[in-house]
Each structure stands twice: as C-alpha cells, then as structure tokens.
Amino acid sequence: MPGQYVGIEDPEQTYRAHVTADGALKVDGSASSGGTSTADQGAAGTDPWLVTVSGTTTVSGTVGISGTVPVSGTVTTTTADVTAVTSLAAVTADALGTPLDAGVPMTTCTVIATSASELAGTIIIQGSHDGTTWVMTNATVPLPAAGTVTVSVTGMACRYWRAGLSEASGAGTVTATIMAA
C-alpha cells in the first residue's frame, strides 16, 4: 500500500488511524503538556496497540491496560481530589449524606462533623465499592449538641464513602465534611 493513504477518523477529529507507507497502522490520540505519544498495532505475535509515551505527557480519559506493562522513569498519578466535600449539609434528623467518589479505592476516610444548636446524635461512616451497596464501618462517634467531632476508618478499601447521622435528638443542624486517602 505504499503511497496510498487509508484512514479512519472520528467526527470530533480527536482520534485518527491510518496505514503508513510501510504498512503499519498508526493511531493519533490525545496527549498534552509537551512530550509525544504514539500507538501502533505492534509486531505480529505480540500484544497489539503498543503505546509509547515520552517526555512530559498528560493522558486523559479512560485508559485500559492488559498484560504486563514495563515502566521506566517516574510515573505520577492523580487518584482523587484533595479537597473535602460536604456529605451532610445542615441536616436536622437522621440522614445518610452525599457520597464522596474517590475515583479509585481508598483505605482511609475521615469525617469532621459539627452540630449547631441542641442537635446531638451519632456520626457514622459507610463505604461502598460500587456506589449502590453500602456497608457500615466500625467508625462511629457520639456528636454532642453544639460540638465538633472527627471520626476515621482505616484498612477498608472502598471507592465511595459517605457520612451519616443516626440517633438524632434535639433541634438544630449537623454539617459534615468527608475526605478519603
């Protein structure tokens, strides 16, 4: 096929595939922040879609990897936001909070809860692998009226975490932030 261009292109023109003059299938994907990236079908009898990244390159989106991947140099990954999110927002009764999606399984989770006025109760932490099926952890702490408490769980790998208020009594509100690492 020398001298002939055969190509595949998506409508958004994000990814392009073409057969080179020497017969190799080349795919141009998205790479940013300097550096270079290439992908090809690999040699016959080897794993297809060899991907090479050199220099400082940011790869975004979902990257699927199978088989053994040799790594040399420094690899830096970002796995979750480092900012706490509000799980319980001014709740006035027993409640389960908004989940934190850590992006990947994390084994430590901390909740900081504050009671305004006379509302008291117990702060709990729940974990989930899929964001649907939730389990209680052994991390609970009594929250006194007009008080602030911290509770943490370690050694339990979950992608999703949420705070909860149980055994609420009195009037007022409870707010809790949550962070996983």
* pLDDT (0 to 100) of residue 128: 97
Positions of E strands within the chain: 6-9, 16-19, 25-28, 36-40, 50-54, 85-91, 95-96, 100-117, 120-128, 135-143, 148-169, 172-180
Q: What is the mean pLDDT of residues 74-83?
A: 54
The pTM score is 0.58
User: In the chain, what are the domains?
Assistant: 1-77 (no CATH), 85-180 (2.60.120.260)
* pLDDT tens-digit series, residues 124-137: 999 999 999 999 99
Q: What is the mean pLDDT of residues 21-40?
A: 52
* pLDDT tens-digit series, residues 105-155: 999 999 999 998 899 999 999 999 999 999 999 999 999 999 999 999 999
Q: Residue 93 — pLDDT band, cuts 50, 70, 90?
A: very high
